[in-house]
Amino acid sequence: MLFSGSYTALLTPFSNGKVDYDSYKKLIEHQITNGTHGLVPVGTTGESPTLTHEEHKKVIEVCIEQVNGRVPIIAGAGSNSTVEAIDFLKHACSAGADGLLVVTPYYNKPTQAGLKAHYLALAEKSSKPIIIYDIPGRSVIGMTDETMLELSKHDLISGIKDATADLGRPTRLLNLIGEDFIQLSGEDGTALPYLAAGGHGCISVTANIAPNLLSRMHNAWKQGDIENCLNINKKLMPLHDALFCETSPGPLKYAASLLGLCSDETRLPIVEIYPESKEKVQSALKIAELI
């Protein structure tokens, strides 16, 4: 399987309004040291909507340079403008990303025919595998299984990051498309049952701050050690919930600051989380034995 296991949807650290590349490099090293199977820069967790195009591209370049081939990188390359997405895609391919994460176009609400045209236009310009990012909670529209089947016929449209939390879907897609179509959960709280339903891994928010536990959980799954998987998942469930008690990555950035990974600085319109949310994050980190 080209991409499987625990992939981290990397946060983008800021300091005084600018990208903090020193903290970013340290975060990447922390990930690799703790067994993360792959990295995903400039997704939603990386605050891609508020990065300039120049920052977006540099964050990917720095990630690729720092990783230096040690783990695969799936670079965020989505936009609700097909022309912009093609620009991001071409850059990520030339920079050396191993794959591309392309979100369904948000806000302008294309039809299924529009989604198909968008992804095929991107695939024709790509030299790397494309992972469809289906997240109706942020994009408003979702992709049907039938549209995904049609798109999967293109050699470079290779899988899905599924943030629908629909646990029947992995099995349906297995029946519809087959074993070779990569299925990655985009929802930490259901990542383990997603694996049980036929998924291959997770692109995780929580892995930013619990990379060791999550890489161990995915390793245990592959080894058939279900009891270990269940114990780790139980330990992390309060954290999965706490990190989404407000809009991500606000709670995540606060958790990362408590662990000394980076500051909790975000970009508007994401703001500092409420005191009661901070208490939830702290409590969950203690349950997970991270602080």
Options 24, 106, 119, 133, the catalytic residue: 133
Options 7, 106, 119, 161, the catalytic residue: 161
Q: Is 161 a catalytic residue?
A: yes
Q: Is 274 a catalytic residue?
A: no
In 36-76, the DSSP E strands lie at 38-40, 74-76
- β 18-19/14-15 pair status: antiparallel
| SS3 state at 189 | helix
Instruction: Judge contact between 73 and 39, C-beta under 8 A.
Output: yes
- Give me the helices (H) in 179-266, please: 191-196, 211-222, 226-242, 250-258
* Catalytic sites, residue numbers: 133, 161
